[in-house]
Amino acid sequence: MKRIYVIKEKCNGCMNCVVACQKAHADSEFYASIRDSEPTRIHLQVVERSPVPLVCRHCEEPACVKACMTGAMQKDEKTGIVSNEFNPQKCIGCWMCVMACPFGVISLKQDGDRKIAVKCDICVKRGSPACVDSCPKGAIVYMEDEEFAEYKRQLSLENIASDQGGDEQ
């Protein structure tokens, strides 16, 4: 399954991912009109003075799906995407999914006179995640699990080689 992975060492905290996410899920192209009404599905937090993007992991056994009282939150068996946005059951805003999510990546959205839960849907309607496409540093990637493992191995090898090269000087 393809997943969104974060390479926190590359993130510069530019917030492009947050803005792109909001725009991808809004009805308007103009950020000023959606900034306060469309919640982001990716969260940028500062941890030990470094920005860290945090996004849904689309867990193998998602706690949010188990906690959903109406069955609105579901995991697609083919894609592995966990979402409540394309299902016939409706979110009633009980927040059980919010409380169950171990990563805190489910947001609240005003929908008429009620609030509903929203989370990363990997931008299914767009074809590729907006956060990934908008990241100028390549800190957010969309890869198969094995592909990401190989990427991390290469990155580690480059870091080791760089460290060893620094010792010789």
Per residue in 9-22, pLDDT (tens digit) is 899 999 999 999 99
State residue 94's pLDDT score: 93
pTM: 0.86
The answer to whether the Cα torsion of 6, 137, 48, 121 is positive or negative is negative
CA distance 121 to 84: 9
- Which residues neighbour 120 within 8 Å (Cβ) at sequence distance 6 or greater? 4, 21, 41, 42, 55, 56, 58, 83, 105, 129
**Could you tell me which residues are beta bridge partners of residue 144?**
2
pLDDT tens sequence across 117-168: 999 999 988 989 999 999 999 999 999 999 999 999 998 899 899 888 755 5
